Amino acid sequence: MTRDRHLAGRPCYLDYNAGAPIRPAVAEAVSAALARTGNPSSVHRFGRLARRAVEDARAEVAALVGARPGEVVFTGSGSEANNLALRSTGRRPVVAAIEHDSVLRAAPDATPVAVDEEGAVDLAALDRALAAEPAPALVSVMLANNETGVVQPIAEVFRVARAHGALVHCDAVQAASRMAIERDALGVDLLTLSAHKLGGPQGVGALVVSGDLALAPLIRGGGQEMRRRAGTENVAGIVGFGVAARLAAADLDRTADWATLRDRIEQRLRALAPELRVFGAGAARLCNTTCLTMPGVAAETQVMALDLAGVAVGAGAACSSGKVGPSHVLAAMGAPPAEAACAIRVSLGWASEAGDIERLVDAWGRLHARTRRRGRDARPATG
């Protein structure tokens, strides 16, 4: 087996922003929950035990963001939670141009708000957009971008929004576990979370709804989730979400270590390729995320080559088909299309180690050297 095939040893997974490996304690809790019987809406003992498990998890998820348990509405994903937020208030959405597709596609007629070249929302543009709305709007700005890791000024967004009587929704899916979140300090009315970004199970998310804000449910048919989301709760997934939230809160002590590893990646790769660009490098960013280019090499080529070397990273804009498409985030930041097409995303998490960085740098460096050699060999002779 050649060196470019999967390397021996533990997997080198550096795509936590797409989804974190499930934590062992979460897997155990989910397995135990699957072995139990009971619908949490039933009044007999089995139902009451299932209800208790759901409510215990609700309290853990609420604690992660400084909310009250009764404000947490469990959903089938972060995307569903975003759709519920965008489509259930009866207000016209005003959204940042760098939002996740689950926000942009939930409100295709929303008013877009530009970002600066570092990827931070333009507060003056937001103020103008809200002033032009005929009625109080719903502002949706993510806490941290999934592609670049750039952290948005949500407290300032809230201040601008409130001056126009607007509600504020914040997609905090990527930020949870990677930075401290206090919902009340942010001031937002609606906040989205997802379990599988924390090392929890896939297929469960949450919308944190401030106070008694009225929402029209997207899914009707029962009184579950405070009548905001009908359907029997995914008890096992919710239990896993609760465990993941508790462990994620403890991981906040590790954010400085992740930032050190992220900075090491950027320093080592810059030494190999001074021409690379790190998107959002001049802004506040998540400790675990770097979005960078290998000039002249398509992102899809990089992802495939690194995968063959046993290193998993992400391209900034992967759609549901698994193919790499143009990044609306980098386009909104003003990146030339050719440069944006060469960007990959490296994201760290709970199981990341220093050895992962060495494997990434080694594999990336060998790919970079090969492409440069091919480029030189392809040049016509002169003289």
Domains and CATH numbers, the chain: 12-21+254-374 (3.90.1150.10), 24-251 (3.40.640.10)
Find, among 269, 276, 247, 280, the residue nearest to 349 by Cα: 247
Q: Indicate the angle between helix axes 45-64 and 235-251, nearest 10 degrees.
A: 30
d(CA 356, CA 349): 11
Residue 271, burial from CB neighbour count under 10 angstroms (0-12, 13-18, 19+): exposed
Per-residue model confidence (pLDDT) at position 373 = 83
For 147-202, how does the pLDDT look when each residue is reduced to its tens digit (9 = 90+)? 999 999 999 999 999 999 999 999 999 999 999 999 999 999 999 999 999 999 99
Task: Kindly report the average pLDDT of the chain as a whole number.
Answer: 93
Q: Is 342 a catalytic residue?
A: no
State the catalytic residue, choosing from 12, 287, 291, 319. Answer: 319
- Give the global pTM: 0.93
For 219-272, how does the pLDDT look when each residue is reduced to its tens digit (9 = 90+)? 999 999 999 999 999 999 999 999 999 999 999 999 999 999 999 999 999 999
